Structure 1
Amino acid sequence: MIALLRVRSTLPVIAFALAGCVIGSGPYVPYAGPHLSPTECRDLAALRSNASPTMAQHQSELAALRKAGYDPSPWYDDPYYPDDLQAAQRLVDYWFQTECPQHEPG
């Protein structure tokens, strides 16, 4: 009986906590700081210049895509590919335009 009362009294607390998780899981809201490092800005600019890419430049691009929420893991079948990759690319492009103006071709 006491255990049943204890469970019933904690249910509203659990429900409230779960409701906060659901409410807080809306669209991705990036933090206010810079998303791309200076190295990522430099490497992304080099990739956009159509020069021969290096492995380090590809790694910087992959790191930026991961920051934008893309997971290239081959261990599962991604039903949202290529949409999730394209969304991450658009976000990285936006970050590049807003955070790396010194690297824009002029």
Structure 2
Amino acid sequence: MKTPPGTRSILSALVILLAGCAAGGAPYAGPHLTPTECRDLAALRTNAPPTMAQHQSELAALRKAGYDPSPWYDDPYYPDDLHEAQRLVDYWFQTECQHVQSG
């Protein structure tokens, strides 16, 4: 049976929420991105050639959002899981990195 669109995102959000509660309380409510990640993600949104450090910051942010690049050859959810993590990182960037966006 095929899963309806959007169901995977909802289920992933519930898993993250429940994992946070099971780990001893409410899910993490502080900033998800470091100032360096904010700066590097902002730089990646320009037309300047990216650096290796900027790519590493982007990968670190994607991993925080739940993406695991290691099983790429055997991941039945790829590229959906990558796109889901990218949307979450984009949301974090919009809500947590205003100081970099306006500067």
State the TM-score, normalized to the length of structure 2: 0.72
1:26-45 correspondence runs (5 A): 26-29=14-17, 30-45=27-42
Q: Which has the larger radius of gyration?
A: 1
* Partners of 1:75 and 1:97 in 2: CA distance: 28
| Sequence identity percentage | 82
Aligned partners of 1:82, 1:76: CA distance in 2, in Å?
A: 11
Matches of 2:68 and 2:76, distance apart in 1: 12
Shift, 1:26, TM fit: 3.3
Q: Is the 8 A contact 2:33 2:92 kept in 1?
A: yes
- Tell me the number of residue pairs that the alignment of Structure 1 and Structure 2 aligns: 82
Alpha-carbon offset, residue 100 of structure 1: 0.1
Amino acid at match of 2:89: V
Runs of 4+ deviating beyond 3 Å: none
- Residue type at the aligned position of 2:98: P
CA distance in 2, matches of 1:74, 1:28: 20
Query: CA offsets, 1:62-83, max 9 Å, x none?
Result: 0000000000004750000000
CA drift at 1:27? 3.3
User: What is the CA RMSD across the aligned residues, in angstroms?
Assistant: 2.0
